């Protein structure tokens, strides 16, 4: 079982750069992918989206990638000595021909066009850069998935415990309700008999009406369906058959439906509280299921 929240980060160093990739995932009813890639590798976006779509089915996933160049300030500075020599020679020529005594300084040379060049990402080896990003993206997404699985594994016992508790609570409710139905049946039959003691009444018709009334208070079918849902839910939590979030959400919804019907039929105050407690457990599990892929 896999959660929808997690984080992954990876760095890959090249000859003149370091690539950093961060991948974050939050809850979402379906898969939503947001990418922030440097312009120099913007052509990789379709492939990255396809990779993410092949790994995940649910979650709001954001992937940020960046490249930092070697050197101070995140870039590399190079000086063109040939260009600088041309400026120096020109200065010396002007000094000789026009009797200028002021010589050009190093600081002034650096400010002249073409003397200093700053290496930009677009100037790097594109093949090496692309390979570094592919490695970092793969590692970041792998770490993200591992973290999602770790959190999902931590949530699994909560579901098992909750479903098991509900299962244990259904048996007393069913048994008590059967006794209540039988008592109600006998009480109504006796009361009707007392009321119509001197009135001739179709006994078969009276028994049919009493049986119908008793059936309206019977929760056997609801309990049986609830137990089936619980067994199936526990089974998919224990299994490792891919995404289970939507299945759990549907099953919890169906369990709520059965408990609502049981709550409407149960008359005993103590059993009504148990039904409410079971619904509270399901509500808590429903919130957790919203975080499962």
> In terms of domains, do 262 and 192 share one?
yes
Classify strands 59-69 and 17-26 as parallel, antiparallel or unpaired.
antiparallel
Confidence at 71, pLDDT banded by 50, 70, 90: low
Query: What are the tens digits of pLDDT across the range 117-153?
Result: 655 555 556 788 888 999 999 999 999 999 999 999 8
pLDDT of 86: 77
> In terms of domains, do 109 and 221 share one?
no
| Domain membership flag for residue 78 | no
> In terms of domains, do 160 and 98 share one?
no
| Domain membership flag for residue 242 | yes
- Whole-number Cα distances in Å, 233 to 5, 58, 171, 243, 289: 22, 19, 18, 13, 11
Element (H, E) at 253: helix 245-265
pLDDT of 72: 46
Neighbours of 106 (CB within 10 A): 8
> In terms of domains, do 126 and 242 share one?
no
Q: How far apart are CA 228 and CA 257, in angstroms?
A: 13
Query: What are the tens digits of pLDDT across the range 1-37?
Result: 889 999 999 999 887 788 899 999 999 888 999 999 9
Q: Are 163 and 234 in contact (CB under 8 A)?
A: yes
pLDDT of residue 64 exceeding 80: yes
Domains in the chain, number? 3
> In terms of domains, do 54 and 105 share one?
no
CATH number, domain of 27, equals: 3.30.230
| Domain membership flag for residue 1 | no
> Residue 179: which domain range?
150-289
- Whole-number Cα distances in Å, 164 to 25, 159, 230: 30, 8, 8
DSSP calls for 99-150: T--PPPPHHHHHTSTTTEEE--GGGS-HHHHHHHHHHHHHHHHHHHHHHHHH
pLDDT of residue 201 exceeding 60: no
| Domain membership flag for residue 99 | yes
Query: What are the tens digits of pLDDT across the range 146-174?
Result: 999 999 989 999 999 999 999 988 888 87
| Domain membership flag for residue 277 | yes
Q: Are 159 and 29 in contact (CB under 8 A)?
A: no
Confidence at 73, pLDDT banded by 50, 70, 90: very low
> In terms of domains, do 49 and 62 share one?
yes
> In terms of domains, do 131 and 224 share one?
no
Predicted structure pTM score: 0.66
| Domain membership flag for residue 227 | yes
> In terms of domains, do 130 and 52 share one?
yes
| Domain membership flag for residue 226 | yes
> In terms of domains, do 58 and 89 share one?
no
| Domain membership flag for residue 92 | yes
> In terms of domains, do 130 and 169 share one?
no
> In terms of domains, do 134 and 154 share one?
no
Classify strands 77-79 and 116-118 as parallel, antiparallel or unpaired.
antiparallel
> In terms of domains, do 182 and 245 share one?
yes
The domain boundary, picked from 109, 133, 148, lies at 148
């Amino acid at each position: 079982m896999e959660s929808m929240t997690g984080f992954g980060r990876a760095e890959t160093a090249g000859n003149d750069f370091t690539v950093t990739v961060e991948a974050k995932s939050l809850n979402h009813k379906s898969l939503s992918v947001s990418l922030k890639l440097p312009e120099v590798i913007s052509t990789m976006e379709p492939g990255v989206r396809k990779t993410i779509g092949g790994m995940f089915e649910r979650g709001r996933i954001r992937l940020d990638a960046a490249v930092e160049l070697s050197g101070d300030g995140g870039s590399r500075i190079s000086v063109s000595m040939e260009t600088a020599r041309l400026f120096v020679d020109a200065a010396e020529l002007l000094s000789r021909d026009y009797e200028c005594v002021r010589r050009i300084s190093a600081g002034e040379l650096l400010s002249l066009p073409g003397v200093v060049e700053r290496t930009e990402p677009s100037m790097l080896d594109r093949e090496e850069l692309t390979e570094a990003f592919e490695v970092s993206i793969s590692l970041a997404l792998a770490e993200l998935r591992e973290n999602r699985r770790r959190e999902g594994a931590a949530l699994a016992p909560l579901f098992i415990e909750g479903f098991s508790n509900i299962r244990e609570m259904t048996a007393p409710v069913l048994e008590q309700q059967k006794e209540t139905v039988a008592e109600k049946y006998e009480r109504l039959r006796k009361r009707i008999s007392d009321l119509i003691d001197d009135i001739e009444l179709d006994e078969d018709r009276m028994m049919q009406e009493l049986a119908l009334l008793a059936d309206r208070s019977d929760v056997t079918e609801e309990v049986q369906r609830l137990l089936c849902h619980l067994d199936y839910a526990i089974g998919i939590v224990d299994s490792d058959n891919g995404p289970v979030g939507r299945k759990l959400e549907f099953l919890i919804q169906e369990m709520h439906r059965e408990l609502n019907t049981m709550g409407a039929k149960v008359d005993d105050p103590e059993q009504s509280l148990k039904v409410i407690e079971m619904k509270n457990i399901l509500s808590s599990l429903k919130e957790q299921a919203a975080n499962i892929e």
